[in-house]
Amino acid sequence: MILKQFWNEQVQQYSYLIGCPGAGEAIVIDADRNVEQYIAAAAAERLRIVHVTETHIHADYLSGSRELAQRTGATLWLSAEGGPDWQYTFTTPEHKPLRDGDTIQIGGVTVQVWHTPGHTPEHISFLIHENGVLQGAMTGDFIFVGDVGRPDLLENAANMKGTAEPGARRLFQSVQRFAALPDHILIWPAHGAGSACGKSLGGVPVSTLGYEKATGWAWRISDEDKFVEEVLAGQPEPPFYFKMMKHLNKVGPDPRPAVDALPRSSSLAEFEAARERGAVVLDVRPSAMYLREHIRGSLHIPIYAMFAQYVGWLVDFQDEVILIASDEASAKQAATYMAYIGWDRATMWFGEDILRTYERAGHELVTTADLQACDVPKDAVWIDVRGRNERLGQNIPDAVGITLGEMVVRKDEIPQGKRLAISCQGGTRSPIGVSVAERLGHDVLNVRDGYLGFLTCQGRQKVSV
Amino acid sequence: MILKQFWNEQVQQYSYLIGCPGAGEAIVIDADRNVEQYIAAAAAERLRIVHVTETHIHADYLSGSRELAQRTGATLWLSAEGGPDWQYTFTTPEHKPLRDGDTIQIGGVTVQVWHTPGHTPEHISFLIHENGVLQGAMTGDFIFVGDVGRPDLLENAANMKGTAEPGARRLFQSVQRFAALPDHILIWPAHGAGSACGKSLGGVPVSTLGYEKATGWAWRISDEDKFVEEVLAGQPEPPFYFKMMKHLNKVGPDPRPAVDALPRSSSLAEFEAARERGAVVLDVRPSAMYLREHIRGSLHIPIYAMFAQYVGWLVDFQDEVILIASDEASAKQAATYMAYIGWDRATMWFGEDILRTYERAGHELVTTADLQACDVPKDAVWIDVRGRNERLGQNIPDAVGITLGEMVVRKDEIPQGKRLAISCQGGTRSPIGVSVAERLGHDVLNVRDGYLGFLTCQGRQKVSV
Amino acid sequence: MILKQFWNEQVQQYSYLIGCPGAGEAIVIDADRNVEQYIAAAAAERLRIVHVTETHIHADYLSGSRELAQRTGATLWLSAEGGPDWQYTFTTPEHKPLRDGDTIQIGGVTVQVWHTPGHTPEHISFLIHENGVLQGAMTGDFIFVGDVGRPDLLENAANMKGTAEPGARRLFQSVQRFAALPDHILIWPAHGAGSACGKSLGGVPVSTLGYEKATGWAWRISDEDKFVEEVLAGQPEPPFYFKMMKHLNKVGPDPRPAVDALPRSSSLAEFEAARERGAVVLDVRPSAMYLREHIRGSLHIPIYAMFAQYVGWLVDFQDEVILIASDEASAKQAATYMAYIGWDRATMWFGEDILRTYERAGHELVTTADLQACDVPKDAVWIDVRGRNERLGQNIPDAVGITLGEMVVRKDEIPQGKRLAISCQGGTRSPIGVSVAERLGHDVLNVRDGYLGFLTCQGRQKVSV
Amino acid sequence: MILKQFWNEQVQQYSYLIGCPGAGEAIVIDADRNVEQYIAAAAAERLRIVHVTETHIHADYLSGSRELAQRTGATLWLSAEGGPDWQYTFTTPEHKPLRDGDTIQIGGVTVQVWHTPGHTPEHISFLIHENGVLQGAMTGDFIFVGDVGRPDLLENAANMKGTAEPGARRLFQSVQRFAALPDHILIWPAHGAGSACGKSLGGVPVSTLGYEKATGWAWRISDEDKFVEEVLAGQPEPPFYFKMMKHLNKVGPDPRPAVDALPRSSSLAEFEAARERGAVVLDVRPSAMYLREHIRGSLHIPIYAMFAQYVGWLVDFQDEVILIASDEASAKQAATYMAYIGWDRATMWFGEDILRTYERAGHELVTTADLQACDVPKDAVWIDVRGRNERLGQNIPDAVGITLGEMVVRKDEIPQGKRLAISCQGGTRSPIGVSVAERLGHDVLNVRDGYLGFLTCQGRQKVSV
């Protein structure tokens, strides 16, 4: 058996290719939109991808299963569990239903389906047997390393009122059922550290059932009500884009457009025409560059590990996006990352020359003051954009706490007519907040060393970033 | 003044960016479809492209002028000379007419238009003056280094009967007019060595009028009739795609599609469906690979300097193309090269794994015997695919001479029911001919050392490749 | 805890970085010579590498531990077990001893040392505890997925007579000791499929103790003598370079030279001077290219997964190597791969132009006939270069079986004065054998479809590659 | 004839390859240290490089002629003119002398030597004849586009007192001699815009003798004394590294080391050890990054067109350099650029993680205030680091003018105990000046919009950058 785990850092997600060299065949589980990576990996191992499947209707990235099946000619298998509201609705290519107990055979490898609802009603897991011996399971968003999948997303992200508690109860049942399997089986999750799909995801790419039972909080609670209470407490704010993601993955994601061939423009007319028709100007340069000089009203999200998720929070699905980037590679990377969540409307990119052209045409470029936490002026209002969980018990007195992704929807909580000092934990997120506040019409300062800098001013012991 | 010359090896073509740093402005002349190179070069010099123009309706590559004007917001200037049949017909973006004597100003640089018909009726040249002093001229397909543009293309490539001789006469007049300019001016041509637009193009990227007058055949003939006779003699066979190119450049080329994001497939079903609907399977791997093993009926053109031109000869404009390539980089390069002539219908690429999948499905892969010229069996018919000019006085006795690009249209001249030994000069082109002959149903051998190998067998002195 | 597994396809080897984000610190285990990958991965996670260690004195690739410790300033920890003959002898940088029971602390992560001799006397394993709970173990060449490390290498590869059986007995004891650990712990091995360090290594990158106990042959034998007999049977031929590797890793590997900056030459004089002083001409182009045309006497090993290992078999450690490559990227890749095993004497590379220059200077290029198995002439001697295990019960009648890597040392078994038809399983290795035979002075044919082609000729059912 | 012009943006230098396809041979003139580009270009055209030469002992970049001759086996030809002090002194490989009137033959191309002293005593030019007709000349640092080479470098850069005027007189004679050649010949210079080797170099890569005579100042002065006066006036400050360059090129430059394989370190111990032994910490990140946060005492030169030249000004030849870079590509680019002038002592690079490690170890990172010109505080001393020619008539009242490259040698002119506001023209150079001033112990501000910003404050019309 050949097993390859693929890591997508932008959406903190794992996907899998399992193959049998003897049969020359392979299956792919939970494919993301970079479907070429699976085709290339299979070709390198002289395998053909003959089956494609996924654990559930994903909420946090756009599925590549549909496109991969089309490109390879593989059979597409999708969960038929969860009731009528949870059925995939697209018809091209045809897909075959998977139900609890079904199996898919790849040479000597048996992939057995278990219905494991909780995170979502249709969620299934795949038990992998090699030559009849159970070796491990792809558990999707059901079991993570150190956590279980949150059952509240449908309610909190997709506004399906009253689904969180029943989901939590189903999750408890799924956990109980899984607990009966042998301790030594491998647990291959769909997410790793950083994802918003659980609260304490680990940085190890795989676990075992025995280790999870020994250390995971969810496995040690035998009382269902207690479990329900626990699993619903302290979940991080779900990104806004999750709802749209669910919808797109259900009705069938489009093939990935040619985002890595994003054209470059240098026409001020094109730039202004795009703004005229409502396009978001997304400045993806390093934050130091943005703060030093940018076009007023541009949204700033630098390219780093969480880029795609902040785009999902702060840009609408239907918005056209034009990018400002330091070079061609980063412009195309930004568009590629956006495509992981289906934000496919990046239409062109501009280099830094557009700043000069813009200025020459008589417009003003904006510079943002970039201060140490100790230098924040008394009369400024301090805005803390860290997440709810981060602020808990670690707050800055008098600061207004608004989670970065929620700044637009909660804009009325931001005091008007005052200078704002935007801060986060260590300085990575606050420049994004600066751009959001500027777009809302505020006068802003960036607090470059954030809460950690604040601690230093307070004379507390230096904390390492 | 800043002047940059851009070389496109696939279509042996030069384009130009001329800028004035003081004004921060630039003009681009004879842009190819890789318009991003001009935008990037201008940005690097802190120039804005404010004018775009071209010397004539090109026949040998797809113009990027239209797209470049749109991307930069520059004014598009096009020849209004040559009469009603030679007017550009597209209307977006608007373009401004250029007539003999018109000028375009870029800071201290004056670009002056001369109508120089001959190669085509609407052909113009651009005289470049810096601070009022004539420095050189972009002469398009009118004056080359060591040659002048051929006036027979419209008749021979575009089937416009009776246009060659009048064109030749107009060309004579244009040459005479230019001859009066100062000897020291620079001549910046639109083509270099290898192009089919002239017969003796040099390998030096620039010349001077004085040097051309001293050494070029065209400048030393003072008798018009003699000139006409000379210029029409011995021109190479024009590629078939020239006619379509003229048409597309006149009605307005589309923006380049995202060819460099060509998707990879590994689905035999997709492969066979594409063949079913008539797609050409184009195998762009190195010839040694193709000869060793390929899918029956695939057309083989390896990626080298003349790739785009052989695609233009051997693939129809409306044909869908699916590629077989050694790796992602060459697949995308092939699609990019095809796009230089507007052959935009490459839809997907397959790696070498498709050969294995194809074979596993019960199909046979083909191997082609690859012989030295001295080992060609007596009973094979020798086919010499070199060009007419190459074969002249250098022929292989009993060989049938058919220029490679014409093999399909002249297929009736190929003897039926015999084994064919395909040869060229040194072995680069014959594998292409092998694939064409195989597609026509013949049993073929590749003569790997071609005419040069043949000379060796004949005991003549060894000729270096 | 952060755990990253690194895969080196050339030597089929896994290395590990384990970090604690809270402490900002990390340890690297079994580093290969590409030490920059660990530095970059740590930087991306904002971790400092403060400890470097390895499981044993590796025999199959050059260790990067020493260089990594120097580059990062980390403490270098090395096994002090195994007796006086098995101590690392280098002194710069200083290293600290590890003995059974020692621990290294990285924030909340405890790395506990167990002495697990068998594969080698000094071999140690690392038990990983997170917050006091045992999670898994890095087992080096002791436990693999589906196998245990072979105890015969010292005897068979390093000529240390009489070490195999005692090693096997120690291995049995180590297995018994490990068997007492909990079933659910993760087993992170140092090798995966393809390595010559075990006989049945799996294609899954991780396992669990419980799964190994349930399915691994070694865990089900409770009788020591039976275990010893079993573990010593049927091991593949160890590559010759293993002995040198042991030596180098013990006395301290040099930092990797700047192999990826290998200079290009095109001087025939340099080429000939290098040959004069005994340099091996190593042609790393695709085999189809080599067979079509190569310089007589060049050794051919194409760049693919096993490249480094065949270099280790067929090139001496002290040999200077000059490369012939299709392009710069593959030349540098070849030199980089060679450096994984410490073969650092690649001095320059030549492009295909050297073939033309060579020919022009009056030398002859060689072409090798490339046949289907069914077309092998009756009078040729068939040489089967597959491994001993592959030939077992699957032999070609009358064929002489000589494992590819052993062709030079067993050259007297190759019949003189006959044409040789070299074949392997499916055609990947035989061109290497062709070059070796040619260097030994034989007249050779390449059997391109090998044993699988032979089966087809015999009318047996087609076997898929 | 094939002629290729190579542009090295870092040293604003042109080199040339001239080949004859019929003979399959080529010559390279004025090679820089990236010798692989010539080898690759020749291979692509199926040419062998059989001759290597140069116009003079270069002062502004390290010559690649010696290495190229060794790599290709070509004959190395060097000027034997100029007297005993101007002879190349290295003996490996052997080189052949070139004197006025000598010729080198490459098939039908004749390269004729003219001694053209003035810029330097040994300077020669190469007249190119194709089939006996003079086509152009490689004029080195004798004739540029729009200028002639400065004869004062030996005196001003190499401290050879009393050489400027005699050089100017010899230059006048060389100009007169060249003036007799035909107007139409092409002039291929060794430098383009940006070089410090002349005062008004053009942005066009080639000229003609006739055009130079019509427009160049040097050609219109018929009186020798007047010419001498004119040519010695207003030359820019020569970089300090010129003297060393002369020396190295005369005694024989070493082959380029493997700078593009520069190792990465993340060890604070290595960092501090390097500082201890006097290494310069060179921070090549974008200036916005440097200003925001850097290690005290690091020298900052961002990677852009003039990078190598500022390294030559501000770093000593014998200094070890350790780099701080944003990513691997820019670190290696920096080392490669440094190698163009022979500054080969870059020993390792650090990523931005070293800043965190450094801080964690208790050191302080420095932030530099980055102001608009209008916001410069009254009590700061304004330092204008533009060149002498730029400041002429365009000065800032009360500003101290010190050309950037001379800041260290003229450090006593910088007022002590005051805050310095460092400015240049548009903001590109001032951050370099900031780092130099900081290293000299000053308290500094960066004036980000420089003289252009100052003009705006003064209410003058906005000037475009």
DSSP per position, C49-61: EEEEE-SS--SSS
Instruction: Find the closest chain B residue to A43 by CA distance.
Output: B353
State the DSSP H helix or E strand holding residue D444, giving kind and residue range, or none if neither: strand D443-447
Mean pLDDT of A361-384: 93
**pLDDT band, very low/low/confident/very high, at A464 (cuts 50, 70, 90):** very low
Question: Is the minimum CB–CB distance between A375 and chain D shorter than 8 Å?
Answer: no
**pLDDT band, very low/low/confident/very high, at C64 (cuts 50, 70, 90):** very high
Residue A461 has pLDDT above 60, yes or no: no
For residue C427, which residues of chain B lie inside 8 Å, CB to CB?
A: none
**pLDDT band, very low/low/confident/very high, at D200 (cuts 50, 70, 90):** low
Instruction: State what percent of residues in chain B have pLDDT above 70.
Output: 97
Contact A67, A106 (CB under 8 A): no
Contact D43 C266 (CB under 8 A): yes
Q: Which of C288, C464, C465 sits opposite B288 (nearest CB)?
A: C288
**pLDDT band, very low/low/confident/very high, at A282 (cuts 50, 70, 90):** very high
For residue D193, which residues of chain B lie inside 8 Å, CB to CB?
A: 2
**pLDDT band, very low/low/confident/very high, at D198 (cuts 50, 70, 90):** low
Contact D24 C360 (CB under 8 A): yes
Contact A184 C464 (CB under 8 A): no
pLDDT for A159-183, tens place per residue?
Answer: 888 999 999 999 999 999 999 999 9
Please tell me the distance from the alpha carbon of residue D78 to that of residue D56, in angstroms, as a whole number: 8
Which residues span the domain enclosing D459?
Answer: 369-464
Question: Is the minimum CB–CB distance between D372 and chain A shorter than 8 Å?
Answer: yes
The two tokens of residue A330 are 């980063």
ipTM over 0.85: yes
Output the domain CATH number for residue A15. Answer: 3.60.15.10
Please tell me the distance from the alpha carbon of residue C58 to that of residue C79, in angstroms, as a whole number: 12
Query: Mutate which of C292, C303, C375 to disrupt the B interface (most B C-beta within 10 Å)?
Result: C292
Mean pLDDT of D296-318: 94
Q: Which of A183, A186, A203 sits opposite C1 (nearest CB)?
A: A203
Phi, psi of D209 (to 5 degrees): -60, -45
pLDDT score at A197: 59
Contact B72 A48 (CB under 8 A): no
Residue B461 has pLDDT above 80, yes or no: no
Amino acid B332 reads: K
Mean pLDDT of A237-253: 91
pLDDT score at B195: 59
Query: Mutate which of C353, C354, C358 to disrupt the D interface (most D C-beta within 10 Å)?
Result: C353
The two tokens of residue A237 are 């704010």
State the DSSP H helix or E strand holding residue D452, giving kind and residue range, or none if neither: helix D450-457
pLDDT for B205-238, tens place per residue?
Answer: 999 999 999 999 999 999 999 999 999 988 888 8
Instruction: Tell me how many residue pairs between chain C and chain D have CB atoms under 8 A apart.
Output: 97
pLDDT score at A235: 86
Mean pLDDT of D12-18: 96
Instruction: Find the closest chain D residue to A462 by CA distance.
Output: D360
Give Dmax (Cα) for chain D. Answer: 73
Please tell me the distance from the alpha carbon of residue D138 to that of residue D126, in angstroms, as a whole number: 5
The two tokens of residue A173 are 């049942």
Please tell me the distance from the alpha carbon of residue D330 to that of residue D352, in angstroms, as a whole number: 12
Please tell me the distance from the alpha carbon of residue C62 to that of residue A447, in angstroms, as a whole number: 47
Residue C147 has pLDDT above 50, yes or no: yes
pLDDT score at A259: 81
pLDDT for C76-130, tens place per residue?
Answer: 999 999 999 999 999 999 999 999 999 999 999 999 999 999 999 999 999 999 9
Q: What is the DSSP letter of A120?
A: S
Question: Is the minimum CB–CB distance between C39 and chain D shorter than 8 Å?
Answer: yes
Together in a domain, A56 and A174: yes
Contact A3 C184 (CB under 8 A): no
Cα separations in angstroms, A444 against A177, A421, A431 = 53, 6, 10
CA B335 to chain centre: 15
The two tokens of residue C261 are 């900056």
Cα separations in angstroms, D68 against B357, C351, D352 = 47, 16, 37
Contact B255 A263 (CB under 8 A): yes
Together in a domain, D177 and D40: yes
Q: Which residues contact C393 (CB under 8 A, 6 or more apart)?
A: none
Contact C39 D356 (CB under 8 A): no
Instruction: Find the closest chain D residue to B129 by CA distance.
Output: D211
Lowest mean pLDDT among B385-399, C48-62, C86-100, D120-134: B385-399
Amino acid B21 reads: P
How many structural domains are present in chain D? 3
Question: Ramachandran region of residue A251, left (φ > 0), alpha (ψ -120 to 50) or beta?
Answer: alpha
Taking the CA of residue A200 and the nearest CA in chain C, the distance in Å comes to 11
Of the candidates D366, D389, D418, which is a domain's last residue?
D366
For residue D21, which residues of chain B lie inside 8 Å, CB to CB?
A: 203
Residue C424 has pLDDT above 70, yes or no: yes
Contact D167, D151 (CB under 8 A): yes
Instruction: Find the closest chain C residue to D42 by CA distance.
Output: C353
Residues 227-286, chain B, touching D (beta carbon < 8 A): none
Residue B428 has pLDDT above 80, yes or no: yes
Together in a domain, C271 and C206: no
pLDDT for A375-402, tens place per residue?
Answer: 999 999 999 999 998 998 888 988 999 9
Residues 183-212, chain A, touching C (beta carbon < 8 A): 183-186, 193, 202-211
Q: Which of D48, D261, D270 sits opposite C73 (nearest CB)?
A: D270
Please tell me the distance from the alpha carbon of residue B215 to that of residue B218, in angstroms, as a whole number: 9
Q: Which of D40, D265, D356 sits opposite C46 (nearest CB)?
A: D356
For residue A291, which residues of chain D lie inside 8 Å, CB to CB?
A: 288
Question: Is the minimum CB–CB distance between A22 and chain C shorter than 8 Å?
Answer: no
Q: Which of A48-62, B144-158, D223-237 has the highest mean pLDDT?
A: A48-62
Contact B42 A353 (CB under 8 A): yes
Contact B419, B444 (CB under 8 A): yes
pLDDT for C372-396, tens place per residue?
Answer: 999 999 999 999 999 998 998 888 9
Q: Which of A3, A131, A210 sits opposite C184 (nearest CB)?
A: A210
The residue among B433, B440, B167, B129 whose CA lies nearest residue B297 is B440
Residue A76 has pLDDT above 60, yes or no: yes
Residue C422 has pLDDT above 50, yes or no: yes
Residue D463 has pLDDT above 50, yes or no: no
- The residue ranges of DSSP E strands in C183-304, in sequence order, are 186-189, 207-208, 280-283, 294-295, 299-300
pLDDT score at A155: 87
The strand pairing partners of D52, in sequence order, are D28, D76
The two tokens of residue B148 are 């002048």
Instruction: Tell me how many residue pairs between chain B and chain C have CB atoms under 8 A apart.
Output: 22
Neighbours of chain D (3+ CB pairs under 8 A): A, B, C
Question: Ramachandran region of residue C248, left (φ > 0), alpha (ψ -120 to 50) or beta?
Answer: alpha
Instruction: Find the closest chain A residue to C184 by CA distance.
Output: A184
Contact A265 B39 (CB under 8 A): yes
Exposed e or buried b per residue across C183-216, where buried means at least 16 C-beta atoms within 10 angstroms of its C-beta: bbbbbbbbbbbbbbbbbebbbbbbbbbbbbbbbb
Contact B381, B418 (CB under 8 A): yes
Together in a domain, B345 and B377: no
Give the per-residue SS3 of chain B: CEEEEEEECCCCEEEEEEEECCCCEEEEECCCCCCHHHHHHHHHCCCEEEEEECCCCCCCCCCCHHHHHHHHCCEEEEECCCCHHHCCCCCCCCEEEECCCCEEEECCEEEEEEECCCCCCCCEEEEEEECCEEEEEEEECCEECCEECCCCHHHHCCCCCCCHHHHHHHHHHHHHHHHCCCCCCEEEECECCCCCCCCCCCECCCEEHHHHHHHCHHHHCCCHHHHHHHHHCCCCCCCCHHHHHHHHHHHCCCCCCCHHHCCECCCHHHHHHHHHCCCEEEECCCHHHHHHCEECCCEECCCCCCHHHHHHHHCCCCCCEEEECCCHHHHHHHHHHHHHCCCCCEEEEECCHHHHHHHHCCCCEECCCEECHHHCCCCCEEEECCCHHHHCCCCCCCCEECCHHHCCCCHHHCCCCCEEEEECCCCCCHHHHHHHHHHCCCEEEEECCHHHHHHHHCCCCCCCC
Together in a domain, C297 and C195: no
Residue A120 has pLDDT above 90, yes or no: yes
Contact B274, B347 (CB under 8 A): yes
pLDDT score at C462: 46
Instruction: Find the closest chain B residue to D216 by CA distance.
Output: B133
Mean pLDDT of B2-16: 95
Together in a domain, A445 and A330: no
| Cα–Cα–Cα angle for C408, C412, C233, rounded to 5 degrees | 70
The residue among D56, D50, D98 whose CA lies nearest residue D74 is D50
pLDDT score at D461: 52
Residue B200 has pLDDT above 80, yes or no: no
pLDDT score at A305: 82
Of the candidates A310, A340, A366, which is a domain's last residue?
A366
pLDDT score at A153: 87
Residue B106 has pLDDT above 60, yes or no: yes
The strand pairing partners of D136, in sequence order, are D128, D186
Please tell me the distance from the alpha carbon of residue D16 to that of residue D6, in angstroms, as a whole number: 6
Asked if residue A257 has a cis previous peptide bond (ω within 30° of 0), the answer is no
Together in a domain, A201 and A327: no
Average pLDDT, chain B: 93
Query: Mutate which of C355, C366, C370, C463 to disrupt the B interface (most B C-beta within 10 Å)?
Result: C370
Residue A412 has pLDDT above 50, yes or no: yes
The CB density around residue A63, as the number of other CB atoms within 10 Å, is 26
Contact D360 C265 (CB under 8 A): no
SS3 D188: strand
Q: Which of B292, B356, B465 sits opposite C465 (nearest CB)?
A: B356
pLDDT score at B462: 46
pLDDT for D131-183, tens place per residue?
Answer: 999 999 999 999 999 999 999 988 888 888 899 999 999 999 999 999 999 99
Contact B71 A360 (CB under 8 A): no
Of the candidates C226, C251, C276, which is a domain's last residue?
C251
Angle between helices A268-276 and A353-360 (to 10 degrees): 80
Instruction: Find the closest chain B residue to C353 by CA distance.
Output: B465
Contact A370 D448 (CB under 8 A): no
pLDDT score at A193: 72
pLDDT for D75-111, tens place per residue?
Answer: 999 999 999 999 999 999 999 999 999 999 999 999 9
Together in a domain, B88 and B180: yes
First to last CA, chain A: 41
Question: Is the minimum CB–CB distance between C289 and chain B shorter than 8 Å?
Answer: yes
Together in a domain, D122 and D266: no
pLDDT score at D196: 60
The strand pairing partners of B144, in sequence order, are B147
In the block, tokens 């192009």 appear at B195
Contact B372 C367 (CB under 8 A): yes
Please tell me the distance from the alpha carbon of residue D47 to that of residue D40, in angstroms, as a whole number: 10
Residues 314-343, chain C, touching B (beta carbon < 8 A): none
Together in a domain, A120 and A15: yes
For residue C186, which residues of chain A lie inside 8 Å, CB to CB?
A: 186, 206-208, 211
For residue C291, which residues of chain B lie inside 8 Å, CB to CB?
A: 288
Together in a domain, C22 and C167: yes
Phi, psi of A250 (to 5 degrees): -80, -45
Q: Which residues contact D457 (CB under 8 A, 6 or more apart)?
A: D373, D374
For residue A333, which residues of chain D lie inside 8 Å, CB to CB?
A: none
pLDDT score at B464: 43
Strands of the sheet with C400-401, listed across from one edge: C370-371, C443-447, C419-423, C381-384, C400-401
Output the domain CATH number for residue D277. Answer: 3.40.250.10
pLDDT score at D239: 86
Question: Is the four-CA dihedral B71, B74, B75, B81 of positive or negative sign?
Answer: negative
Together in a domain, A222 and A294: no
Phi, psi of C171 (to 5 degrees): -60, -45
Taking the CA of residue B5 and the nearest CA in chain D, the distance in Å comes to 9
